[in-house]
Amino acid sequence: MSGAFLCGSILAAIELEWTRDEIDTLLDVAWDLKRKRAVGESHAYLRDKVLGLLFFFTSTRTRASFEAGMAQLGGHAMFIDSETTQISHGDTAKEIGEIIGRYTDGIAIRQCDWGFGNRYIREVAEASRVPVLNMQCDVYHPFQILADMMTIQERFGRDLRGKTINVSYAYASSYQKPLSVPQSLILLMTRYGMNVRLTHPPEFGLMPEIDEQARENARQSRGSFEVLHDFDEGFKGADIVYPKSWGCWMTTEDKEESATIGRQYTDWITDGRRMALANPDAVYMHCLPADRNIEVTDEVIDGPQSIVYDEAENRLHVQKAAMALTMR
């Protein structure tokens, strides 16, 4: 696979710019690597390769899965903390791309600052001679959504036409979270002919251009895309429910104002009653961490319809596939 295969994850988003063939190829490789790991078959495709992991935000699953993935592929992941390096004292995006790109065979970045994160990743990529992977920014979360797609296809099959997914806001008392997960979800799922519902209070809309692209994707794939403002309505007849918290960035960037607005919607919590509105074989998904008993009850997230741990595991496999395809 050519270096162009990765350009979507460098300069924009896999879910937006990669072709369906490229995405499907990556998923095929992810399943093959998952099988190899399950049976103990060596797959050290990146022996002697180094991936620089640059984090501006804390991480559990993202850091652990990238470090484990590089080790399983025979390479090494080098953790770089923006707060304990000269990045916090003046290293520019261009300098990071030029210099770290000469030390490593790939750079992965998590930078979620609103209005800046995606732009920073682009600037690093423009200066880098090696692939640059978006581990999450303010606009997109490509590897999370690839893992979501892999998990959904494991449960429902490769042909998802006619399946309904409800991407919904859920209340959380923690910080004003990025829009990247719901935005990436509606962009990718609409490309696969699914019926995609985006459910949120009026103040918690996504970037208008993302909504418009999702609507166009649905038109081209002969699926559907609709926006709802009733929490219960989003669950009715759904095959996949994905309720999670995000900030009301399109309404305000002020943290206190956002928290005040959010407290109007404390009843937007996924519980057994809401899950009963979905189809009997519906699944519950969440990128984690979830605010337990605020976003979702223990009964649901630990119940038989929850596939959050399969979802988290598949982060490892899709990331290994992307690295194997682009860092060789």
CATH of the domain at 149: 3.40.50.1370
Q: Are residues 80 and 214 in the same domain?
A: no
Q: Which domain holds residue 41?
A: 3-141+314-326
The pLDDT value given to residue 3: 37
- The model's confidence at residue 18, banded by pLDDT at 50, 70 and 90, is confident
Of 245, 280, 285, 278, the closest CA to residue 148 belongs to 285
Q: Does one domain contain both 131 and 46? A: yes
Of the pLDDT bands very low, low, confident and very high (cuts 50, 70, 90), residue 237 is very high
Task: Check whether residue 150 and residue 289 sit in a common domain.
Answer: yes
pTM: 0.95
Count of domains in the chain? 2
Asked if the model's pLDDT at residue 320 lies above 50, the reply is yes
Residue 17: the pLDDT is 79
HSE toward the beta carbon, residue 61, CA cutoff 13 A: 22
The per-residue pLDDT of the chain, averaged, comes to: 94
**Residues whose CB is less than 8 angstroms from the CB of residue 225 and which lie 6 or more positions away in sequence, other chains included:** 186, 190, 196, 198, 211, 214, 215, 217, 218
Task: Give the span between the Cα atoms of 325 and 45, in whole angstroms.
Answer: 9
Please tell me the predicted confidence (pLDDT) of residue 11. 44
Are 151 and 186 members of one domain? yes
Average pLDDT over residues 260-281: 97
Domain match, 177 and 256 both: yes
Is the pLDDT assigned to residue 136 strictly greater than 50?
A: yes
Share of the chain above pLDDT 90, in %: 90
- Residue 277 contacts residue 235 (beta carbons within 8 Å): yes
pLDDT of res. 173: 87
Q: Indicate whether 305 and 163 sit together in one domain.
A: yes
Indicate if 107 and 251 belong to the same structural domain: no
Q: What pLDDT score does 13 carry?
A: 65
Residues 136 and 163 reside in one and the same domain = no
Cα separation, 310 vs 34, in Å, equals: 12
Residues 118 and 261 in one domain: no
Encoding tokens for residue 151?
């998990």
> 281 and 322 share a domain?
no
Is residue 37 pLDDT above 90, yes or no?
Answer: yes
Residue 1 scores a pLDDT above 50: no
| 130 shares its domain with 197 | no
- Residue 7 in this model has a pLDDT that exceeds 80: no
Q: What does the pLDDT average to over 81-100?
A: 91
Tokens 């600037």 belong to which residue?
123
What average pLDDT does range 203-217 have in this prediction? 98
Please state the three-class secondary structure of the chain as a single string. Answer: CCHHHHHHHHHCCHHHHCCHHHHHHHHHHHHHHHHHHHHCCCCCCCCCCEEEEEECCCCCHHHHHHHHHHHHCCCEEEEEEHHHCHHHHCCCHHHHHHHHHHHCCEEEEEECCCCCHHHHHHHHHHHCCCCEEEEEECCCCHHHHHHHHHHHHHHHCCCCCCCEEEEEECCCCCCCCCCHHHHHHHHHHHHHCCEEEEECCHHHCCCHHHHHHHHHHHHHHCCEEEEECCHHHHHCCCCEEEEECCCCCCCCCCHHHHHHHHHHHCCCCECHHHHHHCCCCCEECCCCCCCECCCECHHHHCCCCECHHHHHHHHHHHHHHHHHHHCC
Do 214 and 147 reside in the same domain of the chain? yes
Confidence grade of residue 175 (pLDDT, cut at 50, 70, 90): confident
